[in-house]
């Protein structure tokens, strides 16, 4: 009974919510005895601590927008577009209202946004902020601490949460083919025309972060909201630009620090059709966004996960060269023309490949090959100033080597490492042989040419499985961070996304969805191993951002739930509900930041 008594006592103390410690087992023989039985209250109402003040930065990170806009090319048109499809009648030029409506002529979505104006935030009810029962299954505390300036919070992306795809002048993006009834590509998957209706509910979403006490929010801008036609020289949609200005100001007003991503997969369709000119189009877009917002944004991400973007926003691997150049040019312009003092990064996807059998050279080589092709292609030039990895250059039709000029342009244009290490996986050579695969672009394993699995050589799964690919496998977190730190030697590492989607979570009752113990264990295990990486392995980890703000459209599916909040998409008001993991996640940082 010792541990249960401990729980009872601590459960009734206001400050002890997260402090449960289990008494050490004793060896004395039990001595049964009777006493009078009484009930004890185990539950106590402890409340989240909200953010207390708005944020203002002593020194802006860039010149005031009124001044910065003088850096823009001359002759930019600022306009608005109507989503009324009947406004097609007249030929009004390349970028007129008719041309705007024509952008959408081949799209039809099954869902329709239920409202079309911004909803004001209402205070979050106290009843929503009561913490869940104290956690009995806590990951043991190491006593290690995170640095006081650790960046921690939650992340999202525009297309996955906004909805309102065709409203207020937004143009089509490459992701809008998902669920498009007029396309053969993916009509059976869920469109994002409603999603979480965040485009009109953002004030409430920010109010909810602040009420729970989350200090950083990482989100992305929709390029095609700001530039419906996407390309360099095309008009700015003022409604889109003003929207993000208000989103950033709303964050600051509530005390939440914004981290802004310029492109999270939803590239304008016209830009995808012209990828050789990506640097030109991206710089034009970035200048418009940065001259308007950069005074209030301390951290920028140019591209989200471009290293797995072939097939969605990119057409072929060689397009990654254009991504690197586009990123580099924006970095250089921000630092040396806008004189921005914030920090800029590009964020990669990587689930560490671990050799299935570390004793076998071929397995170690397979793991290295996978990492080289996933990360080396982008990080060799950016972080090391070196050419693409040999594994990439010797794989058929993969990468054309960078010229010396390109390498100079890219080298060092990044302030810290940022990536999304959800899980790990085992690598071994493919049965057909690495070389045969690398020479054959039709091989299903091309270009990595590595067999991946989550089953250990001895037959056990590496950890608790999720609904899709993530595993609860914190035992690999230190190697994941150590690989990056020691291979690319960045100044610091931001874990820009990490998360877990429990098996069939969407099929559970609301009460059961809220009690998401596995997600809590995922975050606690991951962060505990991160602490060891910092203190025992000497790795500089600067922050961690959970994926995701709320359950959302995971590229065609609402059933893949990574949210730290649920969203009710059928009650007409899109009620959000905090899950237990959100409070446990916050608690971890409250306990571990010095
Ligand atoms: C719509 O599809 C038609 C038929 O494929 C094509 O001719 C037209 O260019 C498309 N419109 C746009 C804006 O892409
Ligand atoms: C950026 O700094 C340079 C060099 O100090 C200066 O000439 C330029 O005017 C600055 N640009 C802006 C937009 O403040
Ligand atoms: C990359 O930048 C570093 C630091 O400025 C420099 O030492 C190195 O020579 C550069 N490499 C190339 C290939 O430009
Ligand atoms: C290339 O891979 C495809 C798909 O596995 C296979 O059908 C074909 O025979 C391979 N070609 C060669 C030359 O091995
Ligand atoms: C889970 O819910 C989805 C959507 O309602 C349904 O299609 C599916 O059959 C359910 N799966 C199970 C195993 O209940
Ligand atoms: C969503 O809201 C509807 C209408 O209020 C309700 O019937 C349903 O149970 C809710 N779903 C969940 C999962 O809470």
> Looking at 51-55, 233-237, 272-276, 404-408, which range is the least confident one?
51-55
Determine which of 87-96, 273-282, 386-395 has the lowest per-residue pLDDT on average.
87-96
| Domain layout of the chain by residue ranges | 37-592
Residue 84: predicted pLDDT: 72
Average pLDDT over residues 377-404: 98
Tokens (6 digits) for 156: 């999202």
* Residue identifier of the C-alpha nearest atom 12 of ligand 1: 103
Map residue 262 onto helix, strand or coil. Answer: strand
> 463-495 pLDDT, tens per residue?
999 999 899 999 999 999 999 999 999 999 999
The residues lining ligand 2, judged by C-beta closer than 6 Å to any ligand atom, are 63, 71, 338-339
User: With 80 as the cut, is the pLDDT of residue 1 above it?
Assistant: no
Residue 100 β-bridge partners:
none
Tell me if residue 305 is catalytic.
Answer: yes
Residue 20 pLDDT greater than 60, yes or no? no
What pLDDT band is residue 5 in, cutting at 50, 70 and 90? very low
Spatial separation of the C-alpha atoms in residues 391 and 365, rounded to whole Å = 10
Q: Exposure pattern of 282-306 as b/e (b: 16+ CB <10 Å)?
A: bbbbbbbbbbbbbbbbbbbbbbbbb
162, 168, 280, 305: the active-site residue: 305
Q: What are phi and psi of 316, to 5 degrees?
A: -150, 160
Looking at 3.30.450.20, 3.40.50.12160, 3.20.20.80, 3.20.20.70, the CATH number of the domain 37-592 comes to 3.20.20.80
- Average pLDDT, stretch 409-438? 98
Nearest to 367, CA basis, from 311, 515, 359, 478 = 359
| pLDDT mean over 565-574 | 97
- Mean pLDDT, rounded, for 6-28: 47
CB of 411 shorter than 6 A to ligand 3 = yes
Question: What does the pLDDT read at residue 185?
Answer: 77
* Residue 320 parent element (H or E): helix 319-336
Among 102, 106, 108, 228, name the best residue to mutate to test ligand 1's pocket (greatest count of ligand atoms within 8 A of Cβ): 106
Residue 571 pLDDT grade (very low, low, confident, very high; cuts 50, 70, 90): very high
pLDDT > 70: what percent of the chain? 94
- What residue owns the CA closest to ligand 2's atom 8? 337
Report which bound ligand comes closest to the CA of 341: 2
Ligand 2 geometric centre to CA of 408 (Å)? 23
The pLDDT of residue 52: 87
568 lines ligand 6 (CB under 6 A): yes
Atom 2 of ligand 2, nearest CA residue: 339
Reported as a pLDDT band with limits 50, 70 and 90, residue 22 is: low
Give residue 188's pLDDT band: very low, low, confident or very high (50, 70, 90). Answer: confident
| Average pLDDT score, the chain | 94
pLDDT digits (tens, 9 = 90+) for 448-465: 999 999 999 999 999 999
The ligand minimizing its distance to the Cα of 505 is 5
CA of 411 to the centre of ligand 3 (A): 6
Q: How far apart are the first and last CA of the chain?
A: 34
Ligand 6 nearest atom to the CA of residue 513, by list position: 13
User: Could you tell me which residues come within 8 angstroms of residue 372 by beta carbon, excluding any fewer than 6 positions away?
Assistant: 389, 390, 391, 392
Question: Which ligand sits nearest to residue 438's alpha carbon?
Answer: 4
Ligand 6 atom at shortest distance from the alpha carbon of 509: 13
Q: Residue 201 corresponds to which tokens in the numbers above?
A: 């509910």
Q: Cα separation of 560 and 502, whole Å?
A: 8
Per-residue pLDDT reduced to its tens digit, 91-150: 789 999 999 999 999 999 999 999 999 999 999 999 999 999 999 988 999 999 999 999
Q: Whose CA is nearest to atom 5 of ligand 2?
A: 339
The alpha-carbon radius of gyration of the chain (Å, integer) is: 25
CA of 198 to the centre of ligand 6 (A): 19
The band of 23, judged by pLDDT with boundaries at 50, 70 and 90, is: low
| Maximum Cα–Cα distance across the chain | 92
Q: Which residues are CB-neighbours of 552 under 8 A, at least 6 positions away?
A: 156, 160, 161, 195, 196, 558, 562, 563, 567
């Amino acid at each position: 009974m010792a541990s249960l008594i401990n729980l009872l006592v601590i459960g009734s103390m206001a400050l002890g919510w997260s402090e449960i410690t289990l008494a050490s087992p004793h060896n004395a023989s039990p001595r049964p005895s009777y006493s009078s039985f009484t009930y004890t209250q185990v539950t106590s109402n402890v409340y989240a601590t909200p953010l207390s003040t708005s944020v203002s930065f002593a020194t802006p990170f860039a010149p005031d927008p009124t001044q910065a806009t003088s850096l823009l090319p001359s002759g930019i048109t600022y306009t608005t577009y109507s989503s009324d499809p009947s406004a097609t009648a007249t030929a009004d030029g390349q970028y007129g209202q008719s041309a705007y409506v024509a952008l959408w002529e081949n799209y039809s979505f099954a869902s329709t946004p239920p409202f079309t104006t911004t909803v004001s935030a209402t205070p979050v009810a106290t009843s929503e902020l009561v913490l869940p029962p104290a956690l009995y299954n806590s990951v043991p505390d190491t006593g290690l601490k995170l640095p006081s300036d650790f960046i921690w919070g939650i992340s999202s992306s525009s297309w996955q949460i906004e909805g309102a795809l065709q409203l207020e002048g937004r143009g089509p993006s490459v992701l809008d083919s998902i669920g498009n009834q007029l396309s053969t590509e993916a009509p059976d998957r869920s469109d994002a025309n409603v999603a979480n209706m965040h485009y009109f509910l953002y004030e409430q979403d920010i109010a909810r972060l602040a009420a729970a006490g989350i200090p950083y929010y990482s989100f992305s801008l929709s390029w095609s909201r700001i530039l419906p036609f996407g390309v360099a020289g095309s008009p700015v949609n003022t409604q889109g630009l003003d929207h993000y200005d208000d989103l950033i100001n709303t964050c600051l007003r509530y005390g939440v620090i914004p981290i802004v991503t310029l492109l999270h997969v939803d590239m304008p369709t016209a830009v995808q059709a012209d990828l050789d000119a990506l640097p030109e189009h991206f710089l034009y877009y970035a200048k418009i966004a940065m001259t308007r917002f950069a005074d209030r944004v301390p951290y920028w991400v140019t591209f989200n996960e471009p290293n797995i973007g072939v097939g969605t926003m990119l057409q072929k691997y060689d397009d990654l060269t254009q991504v690197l150049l586009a990123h580099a040019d924006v970095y250089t312009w921000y630092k040396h023309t806008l004189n921005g003092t914030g920090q800029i990064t590009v964020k990669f996807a990587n689930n560490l490949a671990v050799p299935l059998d570390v004793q076998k050279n071929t397995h170690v080589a397979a793991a290295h090959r996978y990492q080289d092709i996933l990360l080396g292609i982008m990080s060799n030039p950016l972080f090391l100033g070196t050419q693409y990895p040999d594994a990439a250059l010797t794989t058929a039709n993969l990468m054309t080597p960078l010229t010396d000029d390109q390498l100079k342009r890219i080298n060092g244009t990044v302030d810290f490492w940022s990536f999304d290490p959800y899980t790990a996986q085992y690598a071994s050579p493919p049965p057909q042989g690495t070389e045969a695969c690398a020479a054959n672009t039709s091989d299903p394993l091309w270009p990595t040419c590595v067999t991946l699995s989550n089953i250990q050589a001895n037959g056990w799964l590496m950890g608790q499985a999720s609904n899709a690919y993530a595993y609860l496998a914190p035992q690999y977190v230190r190697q994941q961070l150590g690989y990056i730190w020691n291979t690319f030697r960045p100044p610091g590492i931001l874990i820009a996304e990490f998360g877990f989607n429990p098996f069939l979570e969407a099929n559970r009752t609301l009460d059961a969805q809220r009690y998401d113990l596995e997600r809590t264990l995922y975050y606690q295990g991951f962060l505990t191993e991160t602490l060891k990486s910092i203190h025992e392995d000497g790795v500089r980890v600067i922050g961690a951002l959970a994926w995701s703000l709320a359950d959302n459209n995971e590229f065609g599916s609402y059933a893949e739930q990574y949210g730290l909040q649920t969203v009710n998409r059928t009650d007409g008001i899109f009620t959000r509900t905090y899950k237990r993991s959100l409070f446990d996640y916050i608690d971890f940082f409250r306990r571990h930041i010095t």
